[in-house]
Amino acid sequence: MKIGLFIRPNSQNPAPVLKAVIDFLHARDQEIVVSKTAPRELIGDYDFITFRKLDEIPDYVDVMFSIGGDGTFLGAARLMAPTEKPILGIYLGGLGFLADVSMENHEERLSSFLNGKYRVEKKSMLNASVIYAEHTENYFALNEFVIDRGRAMKMIKIDTFVDDDYLNSYRADGLIVSTPTGSTAYSLAAGGPIIVPHLDVIIISPICSHSLSARPVVISGDQKICINCQGFSEDVSLVGDGQIRVHLDKARRVEIRRADFKLHIIRFEGDSFFQTLRTKMGWGHDIRGN
């Protein structure tokens, strides 16, 4: 099996986990594939690793292992999702909601994977089309797209439509359009609801709206959100998964809809969304000690 390893140099000390994963896979005769741009001080001096250009890896490998936090996973997700090949998250600690494998259980779970003892969970992604006068640019996100005011010191006006039906003109610091997966990320911090992953919906959440009546709205996953960009300053941007930034001052509008493909994530027996919520959010524990 060809297994890609996706890492980011600024991940929280990935070297020990990376070495353990490489040694484990090599001992079981798996081909390990890494980007040519990956820092060699993290990869080590292994002579059996296959190095390829990053944009060649999705078509070459059978599966991608993301080693890091949720930010690393989001980058791997955008790379792999169009191929609909699976991705496995190996986390280094922290709050992460997306990865299931840790340093403590990596041998057990990687063995389960190699033995076919896993399931594939399919997650919706978002496609944002930034429409200019003469061309259109498309971007993808797993968690959310955000209309961000940037460095502007005042709120912005965000004219928002759903399926060409006028919804609202939000006067706010920004607007979040998220998937169910992203409902536990930025949207949650902005007061949005937690959505179970299998629901086919999109969440629209204003950021610090100057109106007490402005509340998150949940729409069908089949619907399209259109945002009018006329009047935006050069500070206003579209931000995807906190990693992509596109300035909107020259755009006419942004259209956000569910992507035509889904991200395939490897899950194991015993994994539970509600168990993850309890663990990551600290639920089920009485902090008073009662």
Distance separating alpha carbons of residues 137 and 254, to the nearest angstrom: 10
Q: Which of 226, 221, 207 is nearest to 258 (CA)?
A: 221
Give the three-state DSSP class for 65. Answer: strand
- Taking each helix axis from N to C end, the angle separating 106-114 and 15-27, rounded to the nearest 10 degrees, works out to 40
Three-state DSSP at 242 gives: coil
SS3 99: coil
What positions carry a catalytic annotation?
Answer: 70
Length of the chain: 290
Question: Which positions ≥6 away from 213 have C-beta within 8 Å?
Answer: none
Q: Which residue has 């971007």 as its token pair?
A: 139
